[in-house]
Amino acid sequence: MQLLRSVTTIAGLTAISRILGFARDILIASFLGAGPIADAFFVAFKFPNFFRRLFAEGAFNAAFIPLFARLYASEGLEKATRYAEQIMAVLLLALLLFVAFVEVTLPWLIYGLAPGFKETPERLQYAINFTRITFPYILFISLSACLGGILNSLGRFSSAAAAPILLNITMITALLSFNKNFETTGQGLVWAVMIAGIGQYLWLYYSSYVSGVRLKWVRPRVTPVVKKLLQTMIPGSISAGVVQINLFFDVMIASFLPTGAVSFLFFADRLNQLPLSLIGIAMSTVLLPLTAKHLQRGEMEAAIYTQNRALEYSMILTLPATIALMVLAHPIISVLFERNHFGAYEALETSKVLVAFASGLPAYILIKILSTVFFAKLDTRTPLKAALLSLAVNVVSNLILIVPLKHVGIALSTALAAWVNVIYLLRILSKENLLKFDARLKTRLPRIIFSTVLMGFAIKILDWSFKCYFCYGYKPISLIIVILLGGASYSGLALASKAFHLRDIAKYFTRKNFQS
């Protein structure tokens, strides 16, 4: 098993992408601030990404990867490739029809997504114009997700993990090239999104080709394998749709708040997404094909062991990241974004949202790991039920918290809904005997929590000690010092308490297989 090695590969490439993403967001904040064009762009950017997560990275991959992995394990690459061709042909036809429908009905759809924009017609019109350009991105990114799923099933994780780097490089280039005024910057950004989608597809098609997957375009037909995918995908689509409805509902509520609320949520979520991508998405990307193969071969003990190590490794990184984001929210936001059109007020409000989002970070990552078990055994109904429950919690808590807490209430509701989702998944896994914490996890998890709590106190003291330096132009240096010292304190405490061992790290560098 190469769980940690594969996760590290994905996390490393994702880290590069996220660093470039932060550079992109810093430029967006600097050139656009949190004004009407920024709000309109974020809606236009979220719109195709909603359907990307729904059809491509959500339900589609959850159904496609286990089926492809099982076919590859049992009948070989040639048979699996023919299956992928049939799926991609049907996917392309469906996407072409869907893009045409959305382009025709876009004004009504945008109005439904952000009804509060009607109070500011300028924002509404910009959102419509921008989305007309960005929406065809869904066509290329969905096909790219299919190619990425094939590569992941073959154990080749780096190409798909590197693809988002192209998006960020393209958007940064557009920001640096088209920044004469707000409108020009917005236009440059939306065209960059579309161009990047084409680039990502070409990159992954080439990567698949050199990996031995020689895909041909075939006439779309509803074959038995396509029917099997659709039967598995429908509950997953509803489940992924519920998750995205949560996000849409957040944007819809935020659109009724004063200008800037959508931007506060976007920038805070971008930071919150960093550990989620580095840990949760990287872990689930590796786990899904791996667990599917274990279950196909009847290796239940291996599947349970893999799940335990995924939980252990993810919590070692997630818990300290959560505390660090909550304690250092304002310095981090200030250093990254506070300049030009993004002032002190915007930084303060965004940091409040970040604290709320970060409170749910462990839950977001646990959902990724726990759901993988259900998807691997082709059970998409249980994640659907969990998602429906979290939707209800999110809607109710949003309506309760939006008045006293405004945009912060939206983020807090999202975090609360995620924890409810986790509790439900844990309950079902335990009931079906698919969740068995081994002695190693039971011993180490309390030690990880203990080390994290002490690190939190250390960071708070360091933050207070360096407060004066945060005020005199040394913010970046002071923040880096605090983060490094905080990380060192956590590592020392974790090693001293035996939350993890140096031999675990040594195994990673000296052995390809480490199932002990």
Question: Is residue 495 over pLDDT 50?
Answer: yes
What is the rounded CA–CA span in Å between residue 488 and residue 482? 10
| Residue at a domain's end among 402, 436, 470 | 436
Query: What does 15-47 look like in DSSP terms, one character per residue?
Result: HHHHHHHHHHHHHHHHHHTTSHHHHHHHHHHHH
CA angle 204, 160, 73 (to 5 degrees): 90
pLDDT of 8-32, one tens digit each? 777 788 888 888 988 888 888 888 8
Per-residue CA distances from 212 to 9, 77, 370, 472 (Å): 21, 9, 32, 57
Collapsing DSSP to helix, strand or coil, 339 comes out as strand
Tens of pLDDT along 296-337? 777 888 888 888 888 998 899 899 999 999 999 999 998 888
Q: Mean of the pLDDT values across residues 236-241?
A: 62
Mean pLDDT (the chain) is: 83
Q: What percent of the chain has pLDDT over 90?
A: 27
Q: Show which of 373, 407, 436 is a domain's final residue.
A: 436
pLDDT, residue 215, reads 86
Greater confidence, 171 or 293? 171
Which of 418, 436, 454 is the C-terminal boundary of a domain? 436
How large is the average pLDDT for residues 47-60? Answer: 71
Domain residues for the domain of 504 are 439-516
Based on the domain organization, do 208 and 353 belong to the same domain? yes
Mean pLDDT value across residues 396-422: 91
Q: How far is CA 324 from the centre of its chain?
A: 19
Provide the domain count of the chain.
Answer: 2
User: Helix (H, G, I), strand (E, B), or coil: what is residue 301?
Assistant: helix
The closest alpha carbon to 320, from 365, 282, 275, belongs to 275
DSSP string, 240-294: HHHHHHHHHHHHHHHHTSPTTHHHHHHHHHHHHHHHIIIIIIHHHHHHHHHHHHH
Q: How confident is the model at residue 468 (pLDDT cuts 50, 70, 90)?
A: low
Which pLDDT belongs to residue 58? 61
pLDDT at 69 over 90: no
pLDDT over 70 percentage in the chain: 89
pLDDT at position 362 is 95
CA-based nearest residue to 336, from 416, 283, 266:
266
In terms of pLDDT, which residue wins out, 44 or 472?
Answer: 44
Look up residue 493 and give its two tokens. 């405490």
pLDDT of residue 4: 62
Is the pLDDT reported for residue 509 higher than 50? no
What is the per-residue pLDDT for 2? 57
Average pLDDT over residues 385-409: 89
User: Would the pLDDT of 210 be above 60?
Assistant: yes
Q: Please say if the pLDDT value at position 421 is more than 80.
A: yes
Do 389 and 476 lie in a common domain?
no
- What pLDDT band is residue 65 in, cutting at 50, 70 and 90? confident
Q: What is the spatial distance between Cα 225 and Cα 63, in angstroms, rounded to a whole number? A: 11
Assign 59 a pLDDT band (cuts: 50, 70, 90): low
**Are 318 and 457 in the same domain?**
no
pLDDT band at 231 (very low <50, low <70, confident <90, very high): confident
Mean pLDDT of 381-405: 89
Q: 404 with 451, same domain?
A: no
pLDDT(187) > 80 = yes
Phi first, then psi, for residue 342 (nearest 5°) are: -115, 100
Q: How far apart are CA 162 and CA 16, in angstroms?
A: 8
At residue 354, does pLDDT exceed 90? yes
Shared-domain flag, residues 335 and 452: no
* Tokens representing residue 507 in the block: 């195994």
Mean pLDDT across 61-69:
77
For residues 458 and 489, the answer to whether their CB atoms sit within 8 Å is: yes
The angle, 0 to 180 degrees and rounded to 10, between the axes of the packed helices 407-431 and 381-405 is 150
pLDDT at 270: 81
* Contacts of residue 127, Cβ cutoff 8 Å, sequence gap at least 6: 39, 40, 43, 44, 110, 114, 117
351 close to 408: Cβ distance less than 8 angstroms: no
Higher-confidence residue of 288 and 429: namely 429
For residues 33 and 168, membership in a common domain is answered with yes
Question: Average of pLDDT values for 54-81?
Answer: 76
β partners of residue 342: 339
Report how far residue 372's alpha carbon sits from residue 306's, in angstroms, rounded to the nearest whole number: 11
Provide the whole-model pTM.
0.71
**Is residue 424 located within the same domain as residue 501?**
no
Supply the pLDDT for residue 261.
Answer: 83
- Could you tell me which residue, 484 or 50, shows the higher pLDDT? 484
* E strand map for 341-439: none
**Are 459 and 328 contacting, i.e. CB atoms less than 8 angstroms apart?**
yes
- Claim to verify: residue 178 and residue 209 sit in the same structural domain: yes
Whether the per-residue pLDDT at 7 is higher than 90: the answer is: no
The answer to whether residues 278 and 306 belong to one domain is yes
The confidence score (pLDDT) of residue 400 equals 92
Radius of gyration of the chain (CA): 23
411 shares its domain with 459: no
pLDDT at position 511 over 50: no
Higher pLDDT, 268 or 58: 268
503 and 380 within one domain: no
For the record, the structure tokens of 235 come out as 């509950």
The pLDDT value given to residue 470: 54
Cα 327 from Cα 479, distance rounded (Å) = 12
Residue partners of 404: CB distance under 8 A and separation at least 6: none
Residue 402: band (very low, low, confident or very high) from pLDDT cuts 50, 70, 90? confident
Residues 80 and 200 in one domain: yes
Query: DSSP character for 117?
Result: G
**pLDDT score for 508:** 46
pLDDT for residue 472: 53
Count Cα atoms within 13 angstroms, Cβ side, for 218: 16
Q: Residue range 236-263: average pLDDT? A: 72
- pLDDT of 191 reads 93
Give, to the nearest 10 degrees, the angle between helix 3-32 and helix 36-51: 150
Distance CA 278, CA 368 (A): 12
Look at residue 515 in the predicted model and tell me its pLDDT. 40
CB-side exposure of 324: number of CA atoms within 13 Å?
A: 23
Phi-psi map region of 298: left, alpha, beta (phi>0 left; psi -120 to 50 alpha) = left
Rounding to the nearest 10 degrees, give the CA dihedral for residues 237, 243, 244, 246. 150
